[in-house]
């Protein structure tokens, strides 16, 4: 699995559909999604609850199989991989930042941030050292030895960001990273993500409802009833 050429999109979907069963009836949640996500950009995925955002991002990240269609991530057709190959691909290439942070309460901040590296087989000492470097980049290296319960909400979020980025993934996915924050804190988090997660060889996708940060996107995709209805640098006036 070689790196994609620069001209290739970071993510390419063609004809992606997803059905769920409700009793004996199939409900179509995604309707033939064709989209290219470009590296070096901050892309927002927006839409009302139930529009298909979580389903689409889960398919793009190799978590949920599509019913039909193709998904390439940095040139790899991920749903042609075996289950073990897909898990290994996600571990190497994708970093997730969850709304609820999902930190392990019994280990300190540096150990939480080091989890992806340890999962890849790096020694604990080396993984911890790399994690502390990432915490330093986020200005919380002085909190490395503290448990999550000893950290403020903002500090916990930075640990979660460090964990998502420590293994240098090429795809960074954030689920509602500003939903629980005031406007000033939300923009600070987005500035951090742009500084650390956006790079020419990396794609960053933000799933959000937060119109306070729409102006920070390079590109906004809007989903309605399982179809992309808007693709542009700004939201239309009627959003």
H-run or E-run covering 22: strand 11-22
What is residue 5's predicted lDDT score, i.e. its pLDDT?
43
pLDDT per position in the chain (239 positions), as tens?
Answer: 444 444 689 999 999 999 998 888 999 999 999 999 999 999 999 999 889 999 999 999 999 999 999 999 999 999 999 999 999 999 999 999 887 889 999 999 999 999 999 999 999 999 999 999 999 988 899 999 999 999 998 899 889 989 998 999 999 999 888 877 788 878 888 887 888 778 888 899 999 988 888 999 999 999 999 999 999 988 766 55
- In this prediction, residue 239 carries a pLDDT of 54
DSSP string, 76-137: EEGGGS-HHHHHHHHHHHEEEE-TT----TTS-HHHHHHHHHHHTT--HHHHHHHHHHHHHH
Q: With residue 157 as reference, give the H or E element that holds it.
A: helix 153-165
Instruction: Indicate the pTM of the whole model.
Output: 0.84
**pLDDT (0 to 100) of residue 176:** 85
- On whether the CB atoms of residues 140 and 116 are closer than 8 A, the answer is no
* Residue with token string 């809007």: 222
Q: Where are the domains of the chain?
A: 105-154
DSSP state for residue 205 in the 8-state scheme: E
The pLDDT assigned to 184 comes to 82
- Residue 2: predicted pLDDT: 43
């Amino acid at each position: 699995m070689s790196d994609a050429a620069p001209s290739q999109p970071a993510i390419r979907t063609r004809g992606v559909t997803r059905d769920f069963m409700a009793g004996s009836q199939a409900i179509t949640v995604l309707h033939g999604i064709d989209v290219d996500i470009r590296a070096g950009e901050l892309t927002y995925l927006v839409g009302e609850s139930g529009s298909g955002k979580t389903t689409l991002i889960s398919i793009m990240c190799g978590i949920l199989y599509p019913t039909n269609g193709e998904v390439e991530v940095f040139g790899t057709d991920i749903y042609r991989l075996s289950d073990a190959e897909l898990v290994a691909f996600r571990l190497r290439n994708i970093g997730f930042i969850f709304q609820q942070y999902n930190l392990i309460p019994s280990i300190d901040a540096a150990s939480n941030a080091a989890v992806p590296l340890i999962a890849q087989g790096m020694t604990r000492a080396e993984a911890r050292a790399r994690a502390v470097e990432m915490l330093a980049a986020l200005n919380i290296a002085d909190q490395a030895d503290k448990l999550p319960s000893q950290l403020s909400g903002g500090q916990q979020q930075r640990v979660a960001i460090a964990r998502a980025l420590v293994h240098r993934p090429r795809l960074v996915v954030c689920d509602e990273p500003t939903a629980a924050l005031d406007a000033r804190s939300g923009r600070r988090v987005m500035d951090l993500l742009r500084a650390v997660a956006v790079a020419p060889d990396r794609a960053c996708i933000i799933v959000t409802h937060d119109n306070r940060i729409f102006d920070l996107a390079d590109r906004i995709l809007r989903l309605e009833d399982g179809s992309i209805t808007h693709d542009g640098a700004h939201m239309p006036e009627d959003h």
